[in-house]
Amino acid sequence: MYWHIIEVDTKVLYRTGKFIAPEATKEPYIRDSANDTEKTNSALLTSVDKAKAFTYEDG
């Protein structure tokens, strides 16, 4: 995920990570994603959370 700064048309890294999604479902689900701190440690506006829960629904 990136912050997009419109005034200077720049993207700044906020968070990077992975999660495993179900193969196919119409049901909502929540997955935890581990932050890839190797990539985010040097970013200025990065998330410091080690993990974040993402919710998928209405897709």
The pLDDT, as a whole number, for residue 57 is 83
Domain boundaries defined on the chain: 2-20+27-56
**Which residues neighbour 13 within 8 Å (Cβ) at sequence distance 6 or greater?**
1, 2, 3, 39, 40, 43, 45, 46
In the prediction, which pLDDT does 3 show? 81
pLDDT along the chain (59 residues), means of 10: 83 81 82 85 79 82
**What pLDDT does residue 50 have?**
85
